[in-house]
Amino acid sequence: MSVISSAVLKRRLFETPDERQRLYVVPILDLEGQIRVGQGAIDVRLGTEFIFTRRVQLSHIDPYSGAPEERAQHLKQYQEKIVIGLGSRMILHPQQFAIGGTLEYFRLPLDLAGMVVGRSSWGRLGLVIAMATMVHPGYTGVITLELQNLGDAPIALYPGARIGQIVFYEATGNEGIEFKDLHRGAKYVGAISAGFSRISEDAERERILRFSQHYREASRFLR
């Protein structure tokens, strides 16, 4: 698995006529600053929308309790979205968690995958920007940033500031796949801002219950 160089990234952005191989990233506010010579990554900036967890008088978060529509409503009690304009700042307190997104909107070609990496300058202040770091081939949308302050002092975050990097790698085996095939059933494809958790749409709970029922019925015959 080889890292794509800055020279190849620029060709993929501006000189590739094949739609299946072209990389889209908009906006790029500082081309030379965000795709530096000799580096295999594109710097990304912090977007303007954030999702915070509310401190509510409920015992716990349960994404699998009740019917699907009840689950979604349950999760909304814990989260709220706020907008912080460019030029303003957002304070992330110690141990506080927030979901953000990149200012840039991406469309990866089918032969590239990405990995989100935090900037060391922010990491030295205690900021972690991504726990879910994989960006799949063909992904379209802003990239989610899971922000957490692991330090002991509040950190001021500024929308528009360079917050991390996307490192790109070659991905093989997708020659016969179309973009529509990759996007079918994907929850967060096409996102234009940080999105609420959609884990309530998972069918895992129902599958587990069905398996448990079949297991109990089968166990009666084995006694």
pTM across the whole model: 0.78
146 flagged as catalytic: yes
Q: What is the DSSP secondary structure assignment for residue 122, as one 8-state letter?
A: H
Task: Inform me whether the pLDDT recorded for 65 exceeds 80.
Answer: no
Which tens digit of pLDDT belongs to each residue from 20-50? 889 999 999 999 999 998 888 999 999 999 9
Q: Name the helix (H) or strand (E) containing 72.
A: helix 68-76
Active-site entry in 70, 80, 146, 206: 146
Closest residue by Cα to residue 84 from 51, 117, 56, 57: 51
What is the mean predicted confidence (pLDDT) over 186-191? 65
Question: Domains of the chain (ranges plus CATH)?
Answer: 6-48+84-192 (2.70.40.10)
Please tell me the distance from the alpha carbon of residue 104 to that of residue 145, in angstroms, as a whole number: 12
Q: Which residues contact 74 (CB under 8 A, 6 or more apart)?
A: 61, 62, 63, 65, 66, 200
**Would you place residue 198 in the very low, low, confident or very high pLDDT band (cuts 50, 70, 90)?**
low
